[in-house]
Amino acid sequence: MKIAKALATLLLGATALASLTSLAAHADDKVYKIGVTAGPHAQVMEQVKKLAEKEGLKIQVIEFSDYVQPNAALAAGDLDANSYQHQPYLDDQVKSRGYKLVSVATTVNFPMGLYSKKVKSVAELAHGATIGVPNDPTNGGRGLLLLEKQGLIKIKPGVGLKATPLDIAENPKKLKFKELDAAQLPRTLGDLDAATINTNYALPAGLNPTKDAIAMEAAKGPYANVIVVQEKNKDAAWVHKLIKVYHSAEIKKFIDTEFKGSVLTTW
């Protein structure tokens, strides 16, 4: 009788272990959806996807054409993470939209450039020239700060990244400003005298900041891009695995080789 009970116990234990193993295998089979913008973010994440699969982490890379939808999709649970924005932009989105999203790691930095198809230097910009800037709160301010660094304008004290054309205190050349969606700026560059363009949109349009920009941000700044997840997932095992793969030597080498200094790693 005791032997029979012992065998039954062992059998139950084995069954439970098999069930747990099955559940674990099922969990490992989940495909994590990561939102990116087209261009460098997508290219890098495709490399991360290949390496992650070797580590048992399955990723589906989903491309977006604007800055708004990836956060909305993540907040709604349609994505598991996104990788496309810098911290100031995320902070603004969390504050204005109430998203419960957090950054878990930095990724790359894209120095913003000032581009033109009509002039070859900042000094050549004519009186009354029209300058395109991104229309989102942080990148618009970022573009104006780049123009201020070039001595073209002066922004009211204390405004910082949230600057808009209304915050310009001095504009000696009487420059005009056209606020457009960041993704549209490369396509409309020919209709403008110049435009401040994010590198992740400049590169796919054939614009290299180190060669084509008539002015560019300094390499170091507050605009490091981040991996973002829902607040409840910030300590999840798959998140740590994703960060480990992204911050690997293989990914750093790919970025350095592929983008030749126009995209900078932050780790």
> Which residue in the block uniquely carries the two structure tokens 């048992």?
56
Q: What is the DSSP string of 61-107?
A: EEEESSSSHHHHHHHHTS-SEEEEEEHHHHHHHHHHH---EEEEEE-
Phi-psi bin for 128: left (phi > 0), alpha (psi -120 to 50), beta? left
With a CB cutoff of 8 Å and minimum separation 6, the contacts of 266 are 106, 107, 108, 109, 224, 225
Residue 200, φ and ψ in degrees, nearest 5: -65, -20
**pLDDT value at position 255?**
96
pLDDT digits (tens, 9 = 90+) for 30-89: 999 999 999 999 999 999 999 999 999 999 999 999 999 999 999 999 999 999 999 999
In degrees, rounded to 5, the angle at the alpha carbon of residue 220 between the alpha carbons of residues 215 and 221 is: 90
Does 137 score more than 70 pLDDT? yes
> Which residue in the block uniquely carries the two structure tokens 């005298």?
193
CA distance 183 to 38: 10
> Which residue in the block uniquely carries the two structure tokens 């480990």?
244
The verdict on pTM exceeding 0.75 is: no
CA distance 69 to 71: 6
**pLDDT value at position 246?**
98
**Three-state SS sequence of 107-130:** CEECCCEEECCCCCCHHHCCCCCE
CA distance 48 to 152: 40
**pLDDT value at position 162?**
87
User: What average pLDDT does range 239-244 have in this prediction?
Assistant: 98
Give the pairing of strands 113-115 and 130-134. Answer: unpaired
> Which residue in the block uniquely carries the two structure tokens 């170091």?
220
With a CB cutoff of 8 Å and minimum separation 6, the contacts of 177 are 130, 131, 132, 133, 165
**pLDDT value at position 152?**
98
